[in-house]
């Protein structure tokens, strides 16, 4: 392994870093026009880079933009980590390790309590203290079988509008929808990313709709339609968020009513989204994939633990963190608060395993059963299950 040093890149280095990332993902370079429309978004946030000691060329990069994460009972700052790449002729020499060290240290110094990412491979980020904090599923709906049950909520008014109007209305209404643990705040830059994503999509025309309930706009959906042959078109849901079950049912009532659609594909949805419960034939919905959605890293463990809500009796949790050792220690965690303690631990786990239970993706007892955590006192695992329990499955639902 060679010694590397990561630093924050300047504005004039952003495009080169984006191209490095794109080449690491085998994606084509951006045209000047694409860069012109992406530049403002790509220059937001903080991008780290590592340069080659001999040539000075950029050989590794990692970007993070600041947002907020919904956690059970509140919210915390989150660094959304993306566009991570190392030049193919310089991999496995510790470049990513240096980028992760520098990026997480920078977040810790700036008071960014958590970090999150969507991983290209599931074997990369655990060593840096990330754990699977939220799962998601893809599903397909066979429209000819998908009749809504008579008692399904009627929903409100669904309106097709131009994309910019929907983005404007959705960005105002979205905060009331981002209540599920794992969801992210979507700053203006994110809506810019959605625009760029839709502009690059070569998958048929994009339609955007809003749902209006009694208190105003409370849901929206963006989709495109592939029409390989008449009568068997596929409607591909790009984004759908709702503040109420009425809005969810209302938008699905609309989507299922669109003519000439054979199937609807929905990607990256909550694992417990209740579409099947609205349908007379729940098998009209087929889950086609279930996967890790948000990889979560607790950057400031005491602060992250303190902000979250808990149920049941307090427990002493011992945490180890090799990369950010200030987090290592024992914490008395309970509904009345969290404090460092010298008490003997009930539960012992590393910071990545803690991230896996933080939003409710996994139960502590599952981690104990599989050797990812240790229960050290009687009933520690079941007490921890209650302490960290959440009413809904976590879900991120925001690409970055």
Ligand X SMILES: CC(=O)SCCNC(=O)CCNC(=O)[C@H](O)C(C)(C)COP(=O)(O)OP(=O)(O)OC[C@H]1O[C@@H](n2cnc3c(N)ncnc32)[C@H](O)[C@@H]1OP(=O)(O)O
**CA atoms within 13 Å, Cβ hemisphere of 282:** 7
The answer to whether 60 is a known ligand-binding residue is no
One of 69, 78, 95, 170 touching ligand X (CB under 6 A): 95
Shorter beta-carbon distance to ligand X: residue 61 or 244:
61
Q: Which residue of 72, 75, 79, 85 would you call a contact of ligand X, by CB under 6 A?
A: 85
When binding is defined by CB under 6 A, the residue of 41, 86, 249, 251 that contacts ligand X is 86
The gap from C-alpha 194 to its chain's centroid, in whole angstroms, comes to 15
State which H helix or E strand residue 92 sits in: none
- Among 43, 58, 124, 323, the residue binding ligand X under the rule CB under 6 A is 124
β-pairing, 373-375 vs 347-350, is antiparallel
Interface with ligand X by CB under 6 A: which range of 90-98, 177-185, 217-225, 355-363? 90-98
Q: Are 138 and 263 in contact (CB under 8 A)?
A: no
Q: Using the rule CB under 6 A, is 25 a contact of ligand X?
A: yes
**Residue carrying structure tokens 């794109």:** 22
Residue 340 Cβ, how far from ligand X at the closest point, in Å?
A: 29
| Contact criterion met (CB below 8 Å) for 381 and 364 | yes
| 91 belongs to the binding site for ligand X (CB under 6 A) | yes
Choice from 6, 96, 115, 247 touching ligand X (CB under 6 A)? 96
DSSP character for 392?
S
Characterize the bridge pairing of strands 261-269 and 233-242.
parallel
Residues 137/289, Cβ–Cβ less than 8 Å? yes
Residue span binding ligand X (CB under 6 A) among the ranges 82-90, 296-304, 371-379, 386-394: 82-90
Using CA atoms, how far apart are residues 198 and 182, in angstroms rounded to an integer? 24
Q: Is there binding between residue 89 and ligand X (CB under 6 A)? A: no
* Residue 94 assigned as binding residue: yes
> Is residue 388 annotated as a catalytic residue, yes or no?
no
Structural element, H or E, at residue 334: strand 329-334
Q: 399 catalytic, yes or no?
A: no
- Tell me the binding residues for acetyl-CoA: 84-86, 92-97, 120-121
Which residues of this protein are in contact with ligand X, per CB under 6 A? Answer: 24-25, 60, 81-86, 91-97, 117-121, 123-124, 127
List the catalytic residues.
125, 400
């Amino acid at each position: 392994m060679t010694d590397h040093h990561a630093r924050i890149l300047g504005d004039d280095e952003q495009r080169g870093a984006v191209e490095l990332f794109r080449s690491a993902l085998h994606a084509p370079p951006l045209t000047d026009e694409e860069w012109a429309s992406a530049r403002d978004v790509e220059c937001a946030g903080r991008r780290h880079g590592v340069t080659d000691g001999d040539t000075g060329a950029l050989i590794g990069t990692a970007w993070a933009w600041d947002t907020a994460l919904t956690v059970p009972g509140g919210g915390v700052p989150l660094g959304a980590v993306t566009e991570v790449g190392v030049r193919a002729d310089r991999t496995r020499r510790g470049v990513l390790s240096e980028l992760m060290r520098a990026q997480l240290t920078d977040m810790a110094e700036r008071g960014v309590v958590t970090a999150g990412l969507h991983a290209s491979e599931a074997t990369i980020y655990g060593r840096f203290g990330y754990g699977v904090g939220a799962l998601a599923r893809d599903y397909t709906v066979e429209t000819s079988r998908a009749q809504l049950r008579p008692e399904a909520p009627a929903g409100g008014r669904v309106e097709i509008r131009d994309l910019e109007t929907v983005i404007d209305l959705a960005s105002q209404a979205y905060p009331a929808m981002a209540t599920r643990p794992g969801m992210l705040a979507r700053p203006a830059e994110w809506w810019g990313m959605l625009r760029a994503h839709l502009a690059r999509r070569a998958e048929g025309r994009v339609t955007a709709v809003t749902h209006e309930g009694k208190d105003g706009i409370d849901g929206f959906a963006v989709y495109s339609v592939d029409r390989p042959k008449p009568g068997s078109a596929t409607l591909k849901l790009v984004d759908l968020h709702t503040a109420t079950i009425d809005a969810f049912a209302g938008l699905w009532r609309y989507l299922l009513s669109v003519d000439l659609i054979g199937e609807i594909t929905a990607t990256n949805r909550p694992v417990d989204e209740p579409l099947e419960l609205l349908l007379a034939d729940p098998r009209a919905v087929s889950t086609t994939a279930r996967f890790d959605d948000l990889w979560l890293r607790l950057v400031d463990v005491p602060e992250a633990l303190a902000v979250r809500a808990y149920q049941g009796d307090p427990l002493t949790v011992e945490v180890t963190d090799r990369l950010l050792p200030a987090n290592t220690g024992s914490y008395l965690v309970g509904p009345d608060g969290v404090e460092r303690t010298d008490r003997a631990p009930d539960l012992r786990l590393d910071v990545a395993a803690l991230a896996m239970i933080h939003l409710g993706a996994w139960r502590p007892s599952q981690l104990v059963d599989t050797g990812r955590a240790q229960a050290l006192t009687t009933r520690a695992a079941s007490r921890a299950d209650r302490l960290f329990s959440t009413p809904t499955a976590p879900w991120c639902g925001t690409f970055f």
